[in-house]
Amino acid sequence: MAIYDRILLTGSNGMLAHALIRALKLRNLNAITFTRSQLDITNASALKNAFSQHKPTLILNCAAHTKVDLCEQQEEQANSINGHAVGELASLAKHHGAKLVHYSTDFVFDGSSTRPYLPTDLTHPLSAYGRSKLLGEQKLLEINPAGRLLIRTSWVYGPSGACFPHTILNAARAGKPLRVVNDQIGIPTYTRDLADATLALLDANATGLYHVTNTGETNWFDFTHAILDEFQIPADLQPISSADWQKSRPQSAIRPAFSVLDTSDYSRVTGKSLRHWRQALHDYRLALSE
């Protein structure tokens, strides 16, 4: 990491950005950070100015349109932020000889696999969000800056911002009934673990595409049960099928039924594996009280 003397981080208000900033500070490294209001990555001239002024050697792109259901109504905006802007970042990174780290999602897959998805597996997104993130991947691959690092992850949550556990806890504390799908399988990924894994890949001078998640697998219903158990909050929790959920919310995005990612390439390159998601959830609770 020492060679990256000028680190530029976009989308600095987000959950993952907070975790990355924290991980960098633990190494006595600081990033030049930009919120969306400070640097809109869809503004090509603003991006060029930022690169010209700061001359970054490493870009951590945390800017994204991540509201999956809203992307169904805002697909053009999602494509602009998650897709075309990534291409502009890639072009600038290539021009300046900088390394670009970009994050994508398990939602680029359709969930028809019966085994964890490899980075090389064919993509087939079911939602506008998934399509927009795949567009970003394609732009990055097309422009192909020498130091590109693309990280796919899944079910991201963390202590700095709204996320699934945050939503569940708020609803449970308000006494609301919880109806959660039990037929979508994936892996919750803790932002602080994902940030550490990003730095581990950078330490290994990794380039290309990697899947990075916590280990173990679960479904949204069991994840919810674990959240309530971890925080010792009682709630009226009942399972519901994806089909019934979709009927009650026809405007919501279709999620893959199975989106477990194979992280063996990450482990091979770094010599590490992320911990089980249930252990990470415990640390999430502790982090909320920091």
Whether 206 maps to a domain, the answer reads: yes
| pLDDT at site 161 | 84
Q: How many residues in total does the chain contain?
A: 290
Whether 226 maps to a domain, the answer reads: no
Of residues 103, 129, 190, 284, which has the active-site annotation?
Answer: 129
- Domain count for the chain, please give it: 1
| Tokens representing residue 175 in the block | 């006494």
Query: How would you list the strands of the sheet with 99-105, edge to edge?
Result: 31-34, 7-10, 58-61, 99-105, 149-153, 208-211
| Tokens representing residue 156 in the block | 């991201």
pLDDT one-digit tens code per residue, 186-224: 999 999 999 999 999 999 999 999 999 999 999 999 999
| pLDDT at site 1 | 52
What Cα–Cα distance (Å) separates residue 163 from each residue in 66, 168, 279?
Answer: 10, 9, 18
Whether 53 maps to a domain, the answer reads: yes
Query: Residue 36 sits in which domain range?
Result: 7-161+189-215+259-276
What's the CATH number where 40 sits?
3.40.50.720
| pLDDT at site 65 | 95
Whether 265 maps to a domain, the answer reads: yes
Residue 129 designated active-site: yes
DSSP string, 206-217: --EEEE---BS-
Select from 3, 53, 55, 72 the least CA-distant residue to 253. Answer: 72
Burial class for 22, CB neighbours closer than 10 Å (0-12, 13-18, 19+): middle
Whether 1 maps to a domain, the answer reads: no
Separation of alpha carbons 194 and 19, rounded Å:
8
- Whether the CB-CB separation of 234 and 178 falls below 8 Å is answered with no
| pLDDT at site 165 | 97
Whether 252 maps to a domain, the answer reads: no
Whether 283 maps to a domain, the answer reads: no
Whether 21 maps to a domain, the answer reads: yes
| pLDDT at site 3 | 63
- Whether the CB-CB separation of 220 and 157 falls below 8 Å is answered with no
Question: Helices marked H in the chain — which ranges?
Answer: 15-25, 44-54, 68-71, 75-79, 85-96, 128-143, 164-173, 191-203, 220-231, 242-248, 264-270, 277-288
The tens-digit pLDDT sequence of the chain (290 residues) is 546 779 999 999 999 999 999 999 999 999 999 999 999 999 999 999 999 999 999 999 999 999 999 999 999 999 999 999 999 999 999 999 999 999 999 999 999 999 999 999 999 999 999 999 999 999 999 998 888 999 999 999 999 888 999 999 999 999 999 999 999 999 999 999 999 999 999 999 999 999 999 999 999 999 999 999 999 999 999 999 999 999 988 899 999 999 999 999 999 999 999 999 999 999 999 999 88
Q: What is the pTM assigned to this prediction? A: 0.96
- Whether the CB-CB separation of 129 and 273 falls below 8 Å is answered with no
